[in-house]
Copies of this chain bind each other. A is one copy, B any other.
Amino acid sequence: MNFDFSEDQKFIQEQARNFLSSECSTARVRQTLEGEQAYDQALWQQIVELGWPATAISEEHGGLGLGYLELCVIAEELGRSLAPVPFIASVYLATEAIKLAAAPQQQASWLPQLACGDWVGCLAVNESRGALRVAATTTSVEGSKLSGRKTAVLHGAIADKAIVLATENGTPGLYLVDLNQAAVSRTPLESVDPTLPLAELNFNQADAEKLTGDADTASLLSTLFDRAAVLLSFEQIGGCDAALQMGKDYTTGRYAFGRQVASFQAIKHKFADMFVATELARSNAYYGAWALSADDPELPLAAATARVSAIDAYYQSSKENIQAHGGMGFTWEFDCHLYYRRAQALSLILGGNPHWKELLVERLLRIKAA
């Protein structure tokens, strides 16, 4: 038993942290936040050159052949730095969807392209409010032409291709669709976190290629979401750490009533509670990371557990960091809201907290029954 990352993995994390702290300051994040660009293309290019999207792609498919643990430590740093890039959409979602759903020859042709960043992918599954319900999918395919409407598609406005959930003769499947064809129209949506932008995609008889692996679509989507949930939980704890650090620094330097604000018990205990929530989330995330890397049968429960506690911890840490800052925390000028917005955005994709709590309980009872 060893409940920690290896020295190699910690080295990768340190490298990632150093790179992002120099290349992805919050000043740079704000260029995307304030709409100067839809995402940070230059940063994304650097990230591609560092090979991060290739981390969990096998060498035979042009990847680095590292594992999910390495992807987890990178995720933590992307979350800490609020990197405004389509890493979630293209790596955790599109790439993993292809690994799970595509046939060998499809993987052989697409994964190398994703590994070297030839194109940015995204996942288009949601059509209505509430968490995804595969059975309710109305987007459909006839003769390899896909029609329908998808909403809340993460980075859907800038991605090159989308993995789209649609039904063909009543059977749900995943389809690769090039978003730069005339039969596809996209509308960027105003999002609570502009650095994780959403879009609505409309398909009108768009050319689509079915992912023809033999896994059942509903169950592979469930596995896909579990994998993403673990990776997201690392982005979330990275954000928790950053928010806590920000609050500590500010209140340690600021004085009220002739003493450091950070010396008041109300503030100290607030930070202690933020730390506790983050530490629980981190431990659950580690367990999820192990289950993911070991492809352990406990992954579904571990993923739901990691996700629920990461959502709770980031909401608490990001909102109480604002609170600890007092009035300045409510200003656009201070960075507090960047974490708060990110906490909201990360908690809502893949279905919000109540949805994952219910999944957690179902899975807990299933294991108990087994």
Query: Which residues of A pack against B, CB within 8 Å?
Result: 264-266, 269
Q: Name the CB-closest residue of B to A264.
A: B265
Residues in B whose Cβ lies below 8 Å from that of A266: 265-266, 269
Q: Name the CB-closest residue of B to A265.
A: B265
Q: How far is the CB of A258 from chain B (nearest CB, A)?
A: 16
A-B contact pairs, 5 of them (CB 8 A): A264-B265, A265-B265, A265-B266, A266-B266, A266-B269
- This protein's copies in its complex: 2
Instruction: Give A264 to B264 CA distance when docked, in angstroms.
Output: 9
Q: How far is the CB of A131 from chain B (nearest CB, A)?
A: 23
Residues in B whose Cβ lies below 8 Å from that of A265: 264-266
Residues in B whose Cβ lies below 8 Å from that of A269: 266
Q: How far is the CB of A251 from chain B (nearest CB, A)?
A: 14
Chain A to chain B: the 5 pairs with minimum beta-carbon distance, closest first: A265-B265, A265-B266, A266-B269, A264-B265, A266-B266
Q: How far is the CB of A302 from chain B (nearest CB, A)?
A: 29
Q: How far is the CB of A329 from chain B (nearest CB, A)?
A: 19
Instruction: Give A265 to B266 CA distance when docked, in angstroms.
Output: 6
Q: Name the CB-closest residue of B to A267.
A: B265
Instruction: Give A242 to B233 CA distance when docked, in angstroms.
Output: 45
Q: How far is the CB of A274 from chain B (nearest CB, A)?
A: 16
Instruction: Give A269 to B265 CA distance when docked, in angstroms.
Output: 10
Instruction: Give A102 to B269 CA distance when docked, in angstroms.
Output: 57
Q: How far is the CB of A324 from chain B (nearest CB, A)?
A: 14
Q: How far is the CB of A208 from chain B (nearest CB, A)?
A: 45
Q: How far is the CB of A272 from chain B (nearest CB, A)?
A: 10
